[in-house]
Structure formats: structure tokens, C-alpha cells
Structure 1
Amino acid sequence: MNLLYWLDPWEPSPTVVVAILVAAILFVRGVRHARVSALRQVSFWFGLVALYIALHTRLDYFFEHEFFMHRLQHLVLHHLGPFFIAWSYPGAALRAGIPFRWRQRFIGPAVRTAPVRIALDVVFNPVVAVLLFVGLIYFWLLSPIHFKAMLDWRLYRVMNWSMVIDGLLFWWLVLDPRPAPPARLSPGRRIMMVIAAIPPQIVLGALIFFTPHELYPIYSICGRAFTWISPIRDQQIGGLLLWIPGSMMSVFGALIALRHWMRLSARERLLEERRDTPAERRPAAPARAH
């Protein structure tokens, strides 16, 4: 078996191909007009490739037939891939990659409509963002819901895409390097938000790990990819993946948000610092020509 065998999708999905291609094309076009460092470009491509591998390769067979492999897939879809994409700060490049006429005629007017603004205000609210980030993990791991999702390919894809979209929204909010405004949250609130998401992940991972009976019999019913791993051991490994790596990604996010806070504070770009800075210490406004 060669690399092409593993890149062959287990269940082909035009949606995945189109979404990944559109993001890649926009980024390539945008990099020619926006300033994007080599490190940020590597981060973006790593995240995008990770999402493609987790969604559209032969590995999907194993994701559907082993619980710990399923948790590994969602670790990539909800944490790793979106994390690295958001860490690359690709907003300017992606916007620059959209033809100017499209931005002027379609994208701009659509974003300014009341329904879109309300929806963005809701999903980017820090409380809602944390509840969605943690709540989706809990929801899809409810035993009856998980059973149905692994049997119905349509629900299975909804589950995976919901993790990708929510992961992108959450990490985009947390890893925003700008001061507020224009960022939606101050660096301090970003740190509090990502820290708040850690305990629920630890609790759920520990619950799955220490449960002495099989929580997800769907994998035994449909046949396991690794017959030499017992159902309980499979479940324990899956619980550990949620418990440790999932929580560690949140810790890394908090450290990056803290770094942004320190950088902005050193440059006196925080809104509260600008308010507290005495007038004589503020840079003088340039004189206007008469």
C-alpha cells in the first residue's frame, strides 16, 4: 500500500473537496496582496491539510470503526486544524483573495445585513462560544446521539462539519492578535474564555476513561478495525485523548492569548491603557494643513 492508497477517500465528499479548494485558492491569491510571513503560511497550510486528512482520506474507515480513532479525528477537526488556521491570522489574506467586485457587490452587503450581524454577535459572544465549544463535544458523545451519528452518513457528516466550523469560530476568537476594538474581545477575556473550556473537557475525558462498561457499543456492532484492542481499552484511550491533548490545546491557546496581551500592553495598544494614559504622555496629533 502506497501513499496514494491512503489519500483515496473512504467515502468521497464533493463538499470537502470544494471547501478545501476554495480556502486554498483564496489564500494563494491573497498572499500576493497581503503581508503574510512564512511561518503564518506554514501554519495555515498545516491546519488546512490536517482538516483534509481527517475528513477525506482512507483513514475515515478507522475513524468510523474505532472509538479512539474517532476521538483522534475530532481532536484534529475541533482543535488542531482550526487552531493552526486561526493561528496564521489568515483573515486579511482570505479577504484579499476574493475579487474586489465580489467583495463590493456581494460579501460586504451580506455581512452588513441585520441577520448576519446578529448571528455573528451571538456566536462570538464569549459565553456562547464556550458553551458551543464544550457543548458540541458533550452532545455528540451522548451515547444515543453517537449511536445514530455513526450509523447515518448524513448525520455523521453534520457532526464532523459542526466540529470544524465551531472550532474555527472559537479559535479565531481566542487567537485574534489585535486589540479590542477591532477585535471582538480584549486579550484578558480571551484568556478567561479558553481557560473556562478546560475543566469540562477534563471531566468528560475522565468520565469516559473511568467508566467500567462499554459506553459506545456501535463500534462492536459494526466491527472494529483493531480487533486486538478490547472495547474498554479502546474507550479508555479515547477518554485520554479528550482529557489530555484536548485540554493541552486549550492551554496553548491561553498562552498565545497571554502573549498577545503582553505584546499589546508593551505597545500601549490596549483600550483601557489608552484611556488611563495621561494626555501629556500621548503622542501629539499631527497638525492639520490649512
Structure 2
Amino acid sequence: MPVKHAAWLLLVLASPVRAHGLFDAHLFERLPLLLTALLLGSAWLLYGLGVRRVAPHRGEALCMHLAMLLAVLAIFGPLDEWAETSTSWHMTQHMLFIVVIAPLWALARPLPQWRALTGRLGQSLWTWILRAGRHPTALALVHGAVIWIWHTPRLYQLALDNLWWHAVEHGCFLFSGWLFWWSVLRIPPRKTPVALLAILLTLMHTGLLGALLTFASVPLYGDTGDLADQQLAGLLMWVPGGLVYLMGAGWIAWRWLARARQSQGETRWQGR
């Protein structure tokens, strides 16, 4: 992506922040919007610059730009406003973070481009991410804890009422989701069963949370909440979210079997 396009995207990120009244008397309250915009914009710009030094593999740049565009729309677009008054729209936003944007980031594999620009400055962070990716089960547990904690009624309402906690919530979903999908989609072939176990664990507990929201007889997020809207939110987590996890598991298993068949074929050829 040309640098001038990345710079233009920084301005696009800043425009919804200005629309929310960042530069009015409530500067401190609106500051999380600016910080979020700067963080996303910087990551996108650094990737665009890094592509000039380290060329991405086929399809990786497309995944990165699509993920960043969806992140901007989900955080700064009308979806964020709809999520303030509707549990189902709130869940749609969360599912975009967890099962769409996060796996796209993992498939994009942006670390080589970021490392090419940051050098030693961010080396400790990149090394930690690469090491963490070797433990999909642990990351699945961390990601699962993040999902359940932020869907407790008290923290759910806190994120709605406070922009700072709202930004923290989004960051937790995106970062933990990225690490989880990174670990399972980029796992070495010999650890494929561990990755499948991690996805199965995530599929089960998110399905359970979705079922609890769907079959609850009372609104869990405020006495004035719409029960039907909450049930729809549960279905969104349960069904579409579950399908994404199944698709991810299927893709991992298919790659594993394809490599196994290729290895067997090479072994037979060498034995002739």
C-alpha cells in the first residue's frame, strides 16, 4: 500500500473522532477515541511502509487491509452507536472482532513488515508474540477468559458507560483473539492436534455462553433490556460464531492431511 494512501487512512480514522466531539470541553472523555484511532492508524501505516522492505506472501496484504478496514468500521462506524442500545448489535461487534478481524490479522502475518521498520525497538514484543503462539491451548484459555469476563453484566455495562473501559474491552477482544487465531492457524504440523483441541475448547465455551443468552428467561444486561434482542445476540454467538470455528478447524485439518499425504508420497518415491 502506498505511503500516501496510508497517510490518507490516518485522516479517515481521525474524522469520526472529531465527529464525536474530541476537541470540545470533554477532551478527557473523548481521548480514548483518539488513542484508538492513532493506534490503528499507526499499525496500518507501519504495515504499508514495511511492505516496501518485506514483500508479503500471496493474499496476506489483502487480509491485512480488509481486517484494518473492518476494524475501523466496527469501532468508529454506526455499528458502535447501535451497539450502545442493542445487545444483538453489541454481539455483532464483538463477533466481528473475535471471528473475523482477528483471524484475518493472523492470516495476514504482519510481523515481518512491522519488524522491518521497528528493528530492535519492538523486538521484545515480537519475540513474545512468536513464543506465545507456540501454546494454543493456553492462549485459548486466556481468550476464553476475556470473552466471559467482558460478558458479565457488570463489566458489560461498564464498557457501555465509560469510553475508557469501552476501548479496553475492544483491545482485549482484538489482541487476545489475534493471539489465539495466530497460534492455531500458524501452528507447526506436528502440533496440529493441539490446535484442533484449542479450537474445540473455544467452540464449546462460546457456544455455552451463546446458549445461556439465548435461553435466559430474563434480561441479563439491565432490567430494561429487550429479552428478544438478548436471545438474538446469543444466537449470533452460538451459530455463526460456531460455524467460523468449525471452518477454522476444517482448514487446519485439511492442511494437516494434505501435508501427510504429500509426505507419504515423497517417502514412496524415495523408496523406489
Query: TM-score, length-normalised on structure 2?
Result: 0.78
Distance 1:133 1:179 in 2: 22
Selected match of 1:8 from 13, 16, 25: 16
Q: Quick check: 1:171 aligned with 2:181? A: yes
Highest RCO, 1 vs 2 (Cα 8 Å, sep ≥ 6): 1
Q: Would you say the 8 A contact 1:82–1:167 is kept in 2?
A: yes
1:79 maps to 99
2:234 maps to 239
Larger Rg: 1
Unaligned runs of 5+ residues in structure 2 are 1-11, 21-29
2:76 maps to 56
Q: Quick check: 1:155 aligned with 2:165? A: yes
- Write the letter of the residue equivalent to 1:94: W
Q: Would you say the 8 A contact 1:31–1:93 is kept in 2?
A: yes
Larger helix percent? 2
Distance 1:219 1:131 in 2: 32
1:213 maps to 218
Q: Deviations 1:139-168 (Å, cap 9, x if unpaired)?
A: 111122222222222222211111011111
Distance 1:26 1:179 in 2: 31
Q: 1:192 offset after TM fit, Å?
A: 1.8
Change (3 A) 1:188 1:64: same
Q: Quick check: 1:192 aligned with 2:200? A: no
Between the aligned residues of both structures, percent identity stands at 21
Q: Deviations 1:196-218 (Å, cap 9, x if unpaired)?
A: 21111111111111111111117
Q: Would you say the 8 A contact 2:214–2:235 is kept in 1?
A: yes
1:107 maps to 122
Distance 1:211 1:256 in 2: 33
Q: Would you say the 8 A contact 2:63–2:104 is kept in 1?
A: yes
Q: 1:111 offset after TM fit, Å?
A: 4.9
Change (3 A) 1:162 1:152: same
Change (3 A) 1:19 1:200: same
Q: Would you say the 8 A contact 2:219–2:227 is kept in 1?
A: yes
Unaligned runs of 5+ residues in structure 1 are 181-185, 221-230, 283-290
Q: 1:27 offset after TM fit, Å?
A: 2.1
- Write the letter of the residue equivalent to 1:36: P
Aligned-partner SS, 1:244: helix
- Write the letter of the residue equivalent to 1:68: S
Q: CA RMSD in A?
A: 3.1
Change (3 A) 1:263 1:140: same
Q: Would you say the 8 A contact 2:103–2:178 is kept in 1?
A: yes
Distance 2:217 2:254 in 1: 41
Q: Quick check: 1:131 aligned with 2:141? A: yes
Change (3 A) 1:106 1:179: farther
Q: Quick check: 1:33 aligned with 2:41? A: no
Aligned-partner SS, 2:83: helix
2:43 maps to 23
Q: 1:47 offset after TM fit, Å?
A: 1.0
Distance 1:255 1:33 in 2: 34
Question: After alignment, is 242-251 or 33-42 more displaced?
Answer: 33-42
Change (3 A) 1:147 1:107: closer
Q: Deviations 1:86-130 (Å, cap 9, x if unpaired)?
A: 12233333333x1xxx41x4233x359xxx75x875685333211
1:225 maps to none
Query: TM-score, length-normalised on structure 1?
Result: 0.74
Q: Would you say the 8 A contact 1:66–1:219 is kept in 2?
A: no
